């Protein structure tokens, strides 16, 4: 049944996945009566290492308390752990100040937070009917719908960059898209469906020329490459914990301090206030101003442990590993008959999520037959339906890799696709 893989060259820059995989209990999972799990759905969410789970358990078993303002031991420990996680995340993205790191529940909340702040802001940030919002056609729904809502609510015009046939942003009309009326440009650093890595510099430069703010959706970047918010030159950067070996229920918004000071709060409640009377309230300084209510304490601490884990391995090494794997996967997939890559077909400026179609076999069927062999991929529009519309396809199958993925798993995918073709051939 299994085809012999083509004479596989040793790939340069691979991590010691044998050691790494031991840290991830879920990778030992056996499914469908004895098939070893081949987890290639990392763009949807990553698996979690023992090191992160241990930190979660230690928190709940020893130090669990509500944070801030407590004078008892547990409250002080919980606060130190929670704020310590903020330090770790700040260092991870090279933030100039820890106070620029806001904990949210996921990247979607981070993106919505910015959209809402701008809707309620005073000049010069305020988005209203005479202004424009710019996104791109390759955004995740979480970076489309908040701007559609903001545009409906304020009357602002929503504009976007289109895509080239090979899955890149079409910036040829950048001067017409980003104009003096533009208040905010929000775009994805690495596309979750196409894999494309976008040219930040060109967009940031144009945005700065016209005085627009820039929000970068780094949800698919933070897990996979070194992220330096200062080098990016953006005003806000959003990402999400569960895709970077962290727990679910935690996201991050980084924002420039002056902006966080000037912009209005979003959610109101405990923790985000300075002083409250029935008649009026004043707000705590950032980041607390944007963290209403009991925060996701254990989850932030877990994200801190995730960041420790990734840092210990090294983000550059992780990027090199995935790059090698992506190059190998593209090469092997190229040989699968009737397979069409949706997105860049070389590994250059490209993340490790690879979307494709297989003849006219529906992605649901591709995914299901792969699943029967233990291979977990994602099928559908990957919360980026405009991309499917753009390329005239109903959906794609997507395989996506991470630090624990192996060339053997790429081979398993290719073999699996052969089975799919036999089955529906």
Partner 1 sequence: MYQDVILDHYKHPHGRGLREGQAEVHHVNPTCGDEITLRVRMDGEVVGDVSYEGQGCSISQASASVLNDLLVGKELAEARKIQETFLELMQSRGQIEPDDAMEEVLEDAVAFAGVSKYPARVKCALLSWMAWKDATAQALSGTTPEETA
Ligand X SMILES: Cc1ncc(COP(=O)(O)O)c(C=O)c1O
Q: Report the distance separating Cα 291 and Cα 272, nearest Å.
A: 6
Q: Which residues lie across from 182 on neighbouring strands?
A: 132
Q: Determine the Cα angle at 221 with ends 132 and 411, to 5°.
A: 130
Q: Which of residues 40-69 bind its own copies (CB under 8 A)?
A: 41, 44-45, 47-48, 53, 56-57, 60-66, 69
Is residue 198 near ligand X by the rule CB under 6 A?
A: no
CB-nearer residue toward its own copies: 342 or 366 = 366
> What does 79 bind: partner 1, its own copies, ligand X, none (CB cut-off 5 to 8 Å by kind)?
partner 1
What would the DSSP string read from start to end of 246-257? S-SS-EEEEE-H
**How many CB atoms within 10 Å of residue 62?**
11
C-alpha span between 383 and 390 (Å, rounded) = 14
State the CB neighbour count (10 A cutoff) for residue 291: 24
- Which of 102/361 has CB closer to ligand X? 102
Number of residues binding to ligand X, judged by CB under 6 A: 17
Cross-strand pairs, 157? 132
Whose CA is closest to 103, among 254, 285, 302?
A: 254
Q: Find which of its own copies, partner 1, ligand X, none residue 188 binds, CB within 5 to 8 Å per kind.
A: ligand X
- State in angstroms the smallest separation of the CB of 278 from its own copies: 5
Annotated catalytic residue: which of 14, 158, 383, 393? 383
- Asked about 388 being catalytic, the answer comes back as no
Q: According to the binding rule CB under 8 A, does residue 347 interact with its own copies?
A: no
Q: How far is the CB of 183 from its own copies (least distance, A)?
A: 18
Residues that bind partner 1 (CB under 8 A): 68-71, 75-76, 79-80, 274-275, 362-365, 368-369, 379-381, 388, 394-395, 423-424
Which of ligand X, partner 1, its own copies, none interacts with 41 (beta carbon under 5 to 8 A by kind)? its own copies
Side-chain-side CA neighbours of residue 228 (13 Å): 5
Three-state secondary-structure class, residue 378: strand
Q: Which stretch binds ligand X (CB under 6 A): 47-55, 104-112, 280-288, 305-313?
A: 104-112
**164 contacts 157 by C-beta, under 8 angstroms:** no
Look up residue 134 and give its two tokens. 């710019």
Residues 6 or more apart whose Cβ sits within 8 Å of residue 371: 31, 32
Number of CB atoms found within 10 A of residue 123's CB: 6
Which segment (3-11, 25-33, 137-145, 196-204) binds ligand X by CB under 6 A? 137-145
- Taking CB under 6 A as the rule, which mask of x and - marks residues 324-353 in contact with ligand X? ------------------------------
Q: Is 371 in the site for its own copies (CB under 8 A)?
A: yes
Q: Which residues bind ligand X (CB under 6 A)?
A: 106-108, 140, 142-143, 188, 192, 217, 219-220, 240, 251, 270, 293-294, 383
| Residues taking part in catalysis | 383
């Amino acid at each position: 049944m299994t085809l012999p893989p083509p004479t596989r060259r040793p790939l340069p820059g691979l991590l010691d996945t044998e050691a790494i995989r031991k840290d991830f209990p879920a990778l030992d999972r056996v499914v469908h009566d004895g098939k070893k799990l081949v987890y290639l759905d990392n763009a949807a969410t990553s698996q979690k290492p023992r090191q992160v789970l241990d930190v979660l358990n230690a928190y709940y078993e020893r130090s669990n308390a509500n944070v801030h303002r407590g004078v008892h031991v547990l409250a002080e420990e919980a606060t130190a752990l929670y704020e310590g996680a903020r330090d770790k995340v700040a260092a991870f993205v090279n933030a100039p100040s820890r106070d620029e790191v806001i904990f949210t529940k996921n990247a979607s909340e981070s993106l919505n937070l910015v959209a809402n702040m701008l809707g309620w802001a005073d000049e010069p940030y305020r988005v209203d009917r005479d202004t424009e919002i710019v996104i791109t056609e390759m955004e995740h729904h979480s970076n489309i719908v908040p701007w559609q809502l903001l545009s409906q609510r304020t009357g602002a015009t929503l504009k976007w960059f289109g895509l080239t046939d090979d899955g890149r942003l079409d910036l040829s009309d950048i001067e017409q898209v980003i104009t003096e009326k533009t208040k905010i440009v929000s775009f994805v650093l690495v596309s979750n469906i196409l894999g494309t890595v976008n040219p930040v510099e060109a967009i940031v430069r144009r945005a700065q020329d016209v005085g627009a703010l820039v929000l970068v959706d780094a949800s698919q970047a933070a897990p996979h490459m070194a992220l330096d918010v200062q080098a990016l030159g953006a005003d806000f950067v959003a990402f999400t914990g569960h895709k970077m070996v962290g727990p679910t229920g935690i996201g991050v918004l980084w924002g420039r301090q002056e902006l966080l000071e000037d912009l209005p709060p979003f959610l109101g409640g405990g923790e985000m206030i300075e002083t409250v009377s029935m008649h009026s309230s004043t707000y705590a300084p950032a980041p607390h101003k944007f963290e209403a209510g009991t925060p996701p304490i254990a989850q932030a601490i877990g994200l801190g442990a995730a960041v420790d884990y990734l840092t210990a391995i090294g983000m550059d090494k992780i990027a090199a590993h995935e790059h090698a794997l992506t190059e190998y996967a593209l090469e092997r997939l190229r040989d699968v008959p009737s397979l069409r890559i949706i997105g860049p077909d070389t590994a250059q400026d490209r993340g490790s999520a690879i979307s494709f179609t297989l003849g006219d076999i529906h992605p649901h069927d591709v995914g299901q037959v792969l699943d029967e062999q233990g291979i977990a991929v994602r099928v559908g529009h990957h919360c980026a339906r405009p991309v499917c519309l753009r390329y005239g396809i109903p959906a794609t199958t997507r395989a996506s890799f991470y630090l624990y993925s192996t060339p053997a798993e790429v081979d398993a995918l290719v073999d699996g696709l052969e089975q799919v073709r036999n089955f529906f051939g």
